[in-house]
Structure 1
Amino acid sequence: MSSFSLNTPKLPAADRRARRQSHKWPIGIVVVIAAVVLLPVATLVVAAMGGTGEDWPHLARYVLPQSITTTLRLLVLVALGSGVIGVGCAWLVVAYEFPLRRVFAWALVLPLAVPPYLAAYAFAEFFHYVGPVQSLVRGLFGFERPSDYWFPDIRSTIGAAIVITAVTFPYVYLTARVVFLMQGRNIADVARTLGAGPARVFWRVLLPVARPAIVAGVALVLMETVNDFGAVQHLGVNTMTLAVYSTWLNRGSLEGAAQIAVIMLVLVLVLLTAEQMARRKQRFHAPRGTQINIRPPRKALSGGRALAAMALALLPILAGFGVPLAIFGRYALNRLYQFGEPALAEAFLTSVAVAVAAAGLAVGAALAILYAARLVRSPVMIFMVRLATVGYALPGTILALGLLLSLARLDNAVDAFARSHMGFSTGLLLTGSAAAVILACAIRFLALAEGAVQAGLEKLPPNLDQAARSLGRSAPASAVSVLLPLLKPAIFTAAILVFVDTVKELSATILLRPFGFNTLATYVYENASRGAVEEGAVAALLIIVTSILPVALLSGPLMRDRGA
């Protein structure tokens, strides 16, 4: 999870103890942040283990078998789909030269701007009976009624796998493409001197070398799949995430929902363990910087092969980005008046406010834990930093349920104290406001902020702030006056990443939001839930446009290949 690593010589034991004694506050901050991140998980486990168990027979007999089977089937389909498309597209733009290749190289990242729930709404409209695809089929073949022909149902497990794969395959594409570029000319040329053709070089040499990166990309895709709530609900796929939601709200059983969530947590741990085991002992030669810039030779394609390559690169872009943009764009053009509606304006301002608050909280926490680790360089501190950033591995539903239970107890305790000692009620300070949503997003996306800030921190000399302290500056003063100005680009990137992911977040927001609280994501969700996807089209476009920001940040390096 965390990318933090030691980059300076290990200090003697006596010096490390002295350093820890002189930096108690940084250590305390990291411990507090890690405790806040782990509190929802601990609360969830206690709630699942401490109940009466009266719902367990029903869950074990009627809910869990189907939801676990469906979830595993969905994960397998998405893993296969994202792996094949991601690796195939990465190899296509790295190994072959064809018209618009450089444009396709960065455009293949665009589907990441579309959250799975928006893709599900768009695909359901696109393949609907009155949608463009079935209308075209009826026009071509003269069909008049649904009974005249068979058409695959998008509202199925396979349909959900197609939807999620269409917008998550860039995770695999990015990781695989970087490895293909880094290995460059050297390893492929060695294989070719031994008589291996291009296809054999790919299957026998480059693909095994890229396996750790591919596994890491697939793991990210599977984490997004487990986290998804809106897409599977809209498509009627009964996954474990949906089972948590329905058990909590439809059956009114927090204990049962907690038990399912703990099983989901075990599944997440299995995924993470499998990813680590797959990458264990997998190493490849990292070329020197001058060699990385020597891009691998590309085979020029012409004629029909060039057109086929362009079609293969264009199809995933159209599926993951073009279809949602076309569907929501067509609906939005007929509803431009919504830009002046108070409900949409309120949802937009709420999204911005929550995202800004979550980004500020996450970036502040990331700076705190990384600077503490910079002051106190020890394996224990590194472990604490990793604990503090495990939130990204937690599906939003699990995080929301655990956070709600823990914050509700805190709210009730504060309210009881105020009633008994002060004579008034405080109400629900945390769970009755946006605070719970902000905290959930900050916990979940803290790893994004930490990774971006750490990337910037690693570029700075390790003794830079120590030099400032040798001139009489305190540790906080040296951090503010020396490190923060140099980290502005990394902080900006971290804030954008958290901001955008918070705007897109649905699974945690839908469960934690108080009455009357709407973000852009929940605004679209509410309209889709009542069968009026078109009424949420403007909000959906706002989410997509906002989410393109990180893609724009990536587009420059991707166009240059060597900086990818």
Structure 2
Amino acid sequence: MKDKYPLWQTSGWTFGVLLVIPILAIFYTAIGASDELFSHLMDTVMGAYTLNTLGLVFGTSLLAAVFGLPSAWLMAMCRLPGEKWLQWALVLPLAMPGYIIGYIYTDWLDYAGPVQILLRDWFGWQSYQDYWFPDIRTLGGACLVLALVLYPYIYLLARTAFMEQSASLLQSARLLRCSPLESFRRISLPLARPSIAVGLSLIAMETLGDFGTVSYFAVHSLTTAVYDTWLGYSNLNAAAKISALMLLAIFLLISAERFSRRRQKLFQQHNGPNEDVRYLLSGWKKALALIWCWGLIGFAFVLPFLQLVYYAWHYFAQSWTAEFREYSINSLMVSGSAALLAVVVALLVNFYHRLDGRPVSLAPMRMSAMGYAVPGTVLAIGVMIPLTSADHLINDFTRAMDWGRPGLVLSGTMFAMIFAFVVRFGAVAVGSVESSLAKISPSLDMAAKTMGCASVPMLRRVHLPLIRRGCLIAGLLVFIESMKELNAALLLRPFNFETLATYVFNYASDEQLELAALPAILLVFVGLIPLVVVNRSLEQSH
């Protein structure tokens, strides 16, 4: 018979329920009666917004697959000069915010940009009527920019899948005189389908939740509809209904991905430690492979980053201001608080499940991790609904007690942002702590109990020293993701409160990217840290 742990049970379920409340609040508000604004949106623009969103998701996913799959196969199945550097560099674009790439490419490719000026000088064109040049600020341009930033998702997963494929299958393909292209098309690609499906679903969810890029490119999507409905019309009910539609779309997307491979089971023998079945490319094939990989890195990361460095160097005096330092401190405070709380919640729900052991104790862990699939804009609406209601209750109580009205103590302060970040990125902390605890033998728990150690001292003296690294990684990842989060911060920030992400967005939206370069570089460097962690884990596992 399992021991009862009422303190851990209460704590685990309390935090699990708290972190799932924003998602439930969205659906609870959405099922209410429709108001005039939502009915008007449904009758006028919602159809176009939905089509734009579908086109954005499809176009971005397709282009990301075109960028990521060949790169993943080349890195996994071919021997190339500088491959150690390439496999790291191909992940770098994930650290670059999509809206920054969009601003830079718009600056380069606009009519007044250096590319079109150079073309007019070369060919003697006088005006835009003399030639045709694609407009970057369109739906297609937004798909291209987002694909350049998000293709590492499918690259990482597909590369891992290709590396884990059976060596005997690849050798059999060579005996049957299959070319590298045929081997890729007929063997590697079908076997990697589950990983590719997961990568595409991640890209689709990130695209669905993007606001900075689509807003700047004037692509009206469901995300911009949520933002405009809340900030433009102050209508929480209509914003919740649109958010519920987006959550349903995400649920259908995840369900379709799992349903498509429900009967697919792959049992593969990994390559031996001394077995290298990779192709040795030479001649024009090697040159083409190197041009493809390094060209992708150049357009997706190196050239935009060099542009940021150029702006930061020439406008350092204008960028290094008291506001920049203040907003950096704001980001550190909010992100640090969110990271600390997320680790505490992860410890509580994971340790409760370890102590209890019953399937029901797994529920708080899964509830704490549900917010990761929710776009930041949608999650902000879900956070505002319960916090606004709680603020009303607090003010009604204090007024009844003649204590005055404290105002928006929850929804109008940093608490709303911190709570949203914990809900959004709690899954990262929960997963990291869960994997660390899973490596600790249950015999240590039994030995501690035999020596009369209660649950709290056992956690402090036995488990925490052993999972310290996992907790540090969990806190670091939540901190970094919170530093970069734009969507939720835009909707939940208090008055006269900026983070580095909103600071960069505001300057870039005002066509002053040169003044946003310094904080943007800081965000890029912060975003590189989890990529280093991911690549190191891949190297250790292979």
Pick the TM interval, shorter chain: over 0.9
Question: Do the aligned residues in 2 keep the contact of 1:359 with 1:496 (CA within 8 Å)?
Answer: yes
User: Are residues 1:189 and 2:167 paired?
Assistant: no
CA distance, structure 2, for counterparts of residue 534 and residue 41 of structure 1: 38
User: Are residues 1:317 and 2:290 paired?
Assistant: no
**Match of residue 32 from structure 1:** 14
User: Are residues 1:227 and 2:205 paired?
Assistant: no
Question: Do the aligned residues in 2 keep the contact of 1:184 with 1:296 (CA within 8 Å)?
Answer: no
CA distance, structure 2, for counterparts of residue 227 and residue 367 of structure 1: 28
Cα distance, 1:198–1:301 mapped onto 2, change above 3 Å = closer
**Match of residue 476 from structure 2:** 496
CA distance, structure 2, for counterparts of residue 72 and residue 292 of structure 1: 43
Q: Deviations for 1:387-411, whole angstroms, at most 9, x for unmatched residues?
A: 2201001111111011112101101
From 241, 262, 268, the counterpart of 2:250: 268
Aligned to 1:55, what secondary structure does the other structure show?
Answer: helix
Cα distance, 1:187–1:64 mapped onto 2, change above 3 Å = same
User: Are residues 1:341 and 2:341 paired?
Assistant: no
User: Are residues 1:70 and 2:48 paired?
Assistant: no
Cα distance, 1:295–1:235 mapped onto 2, change above 3 Å = farther
Q: Deviations for 1:225-247, whole angstroms, at most 9, x for unmatched residues?
A: 11111110011111100011112
How does 1:295-310 map onto structure 2 within 5 Å? 296-310=276-290
Cα distance, 1:306–1:519 mapped onto 2, change above 3 Å = same
How does 1:86-101 map onto structure 2 within 5 Å? 86-101=68-83
**Match of residue 6 from structure 1:** none
Q: Deviations for 1:442-464, whole angstroms, at most 9, x for unmatched residues?
A: 11001111222222222222332
Question: Do the aligned residues in 2 keep the contact of 1:95 with 1:296 (CA within 8 Å)?
Answer: no
Q: Deviations for 1:262-299, whole angstroms, at most 9, x for unmatched residues?
A: 111111111111122123222222546xx453554222
**Match of residue 175 from structure 1:** 157
**Match of residue 247 from structure 1:** 229
How does 1:191-206 map onto structure 2 within 5 Å? 191-206=173-188
From 410, 434, 456, the counterpart of 1:430: 410
Question: Do the aligned residues in 2 keep the contact of 1:465 with 1:479 (CA within 8 Å)?
Answer: no
CA distance, structure 2, for counterparts of residue 153 and residue 251 of structure 1: 31
Cα distance, 1:84–1:113 mapped onto 2, change above 3 Å = same
CA distance, structure 1, for counterparts of residue 108 and residue 449 of structure 2: 62
Question: Do the aligned residues in 2 keep the contact of 1:113 with 1:548 (CA within 8 Å)?
Answer: yes
Question: Do the aligned residues in 2 keep the contact of 1:30 with 1:388 (CA within 8 Å)?
Answer: no
CA distance, structure 2, for counterparts of residue 148 and residue 375 of structure 1: 74
CA distance, structure 1, for counterparts of residue 272 and residue 248 of structure 2: 40
From 403, 410, 423, the counterpart of 2:383: 403
CA distance, structure 2, for counterparts of residue 36 and residue 59 of structure 1: 32
Deviation, 1:530, is 2.1
Cα distance, 1:126–1:456 mapped onto 2, change above 3 Å = farther
Question: Do the aligned residues in 2 keep the contact of 1:430 with 1:436 (CA within 8 Å)?
Answer: yes
Deviation, 1:52, is 4.7
User: Are residues 1:283 and 2:265 paired?
Assistant: yes
CA distance, structure 1, for counterparts of residue 124 and residue 537 of structure 2: 49
Question: Do the aligned residues in 1 keep the contact of 2:23 with 2:371 (CA within 8 Å)?
Answer: no
Question: Do the aligned residues in 1 keep the contact of 2:16 with 2:349 (CA within 8 Å)?
Answer: no
Question: Do the aligned residues in 2 keep the contact of 1:184 with 1:294 (CA within 8 Å)?
Answer: no
46-55 vs 382-391, which deviates more? 46-55
Q: Deviations for 1:355-375, whole angstroms, at most 9, x for unmatched residues?
A: 111111111111211111111
**Match of residue 426 from structure 2:** 446
Q: Which amino acid aligns with 1:536?
A: A
Aligned to 2:65, what secondary structure does the other structure show?
Answer: helix
**Match of residue 338 from structure 2:** 358
From 502, 508, 516, the counterpart of 1:536: 516
Cα distance, 1:128–1:253 mapped onto 2, change above 3 Å = same
Question: Do the aligned residues in 1 keep the contact of 2:319 with 2:515 (CA within 8 Å)?
Answer: no
Q: Deviations for 1:398-429, whole angstroms, at most 9, x for unmatched residues?
A: 11011112101101211221122142222211
Question: Do the aligned residues in 1 keep the contact of 2:319 with 2:516 (CA within 8 Å)?
Answer: no
User: Are residues 1:328 and 2:308 paired?
Assistant: yes
CA distance, structure 1, for counterparts of residue 398 and residue 177 of structure 2: 80
CA distance, structure 1, for counterparts of residue 467 and residue 504 of structure 2: 36
Q: TM-score, normalised by structure 2?
A: 0.96
260-269 vs 461-470, which deviates more? 461-470
Question: Do the aligned residues in 2 keep the contact of 1:457 with 1:487 (CA within 8 Å)?
Answer: yes
Cα distance, 1:476–1:187 mapped onto 2, change above 3 Å = farther
Question: Do the aligned residues in 2 keep the contact of 1:500 with 1:547 (CA within 8 Å)?
Answer: yes
CA distance, structure 2, for counterparts of residue 467 and residue 112 of structure 1: 45
How does 1:39-188 map onto structure 2 within 5 Å? 39-188=21-170
Q: Which amino acid aligns with 1:70?
A: N
CA distance, structure 1, for counterparts of residue 283 and residue 177 of structure 2: 27
CA distance, structure 2, for counterparts of residue 146 and residue 231 of structure 1: 25
Poorly superposed stretches of 4+, deviation over 6 Å: none
Question: Do the aligned residues in 2 keep the contact of 1:184 with 1:292 (CA within 8 Å)?
Answer: no
How does 1:449-468 map onto structure 2 within 5 Å? 449-468=429-448
From 165, 184, 191, the counterpart of 1:209: 191
Q: Which amino acid aligns with 2:8?
A: P
169-178 vs 544-553, which deviates more? 544-553
Q: Which amino acid aligns with 2:50?
A: I
Q: Which amino acid aligns with 1:376?
A: D
Question: Do the aligned residues in 1 keep the contact of 2:380 with 2:488 (CA within 8 Å)?
Answer: yes
**Match of residue 563 from structure 1:** 541
Q: Which amino acid aligns with 1:453?
A: V
517-526 vs 446-455, which deviates more? 446-455
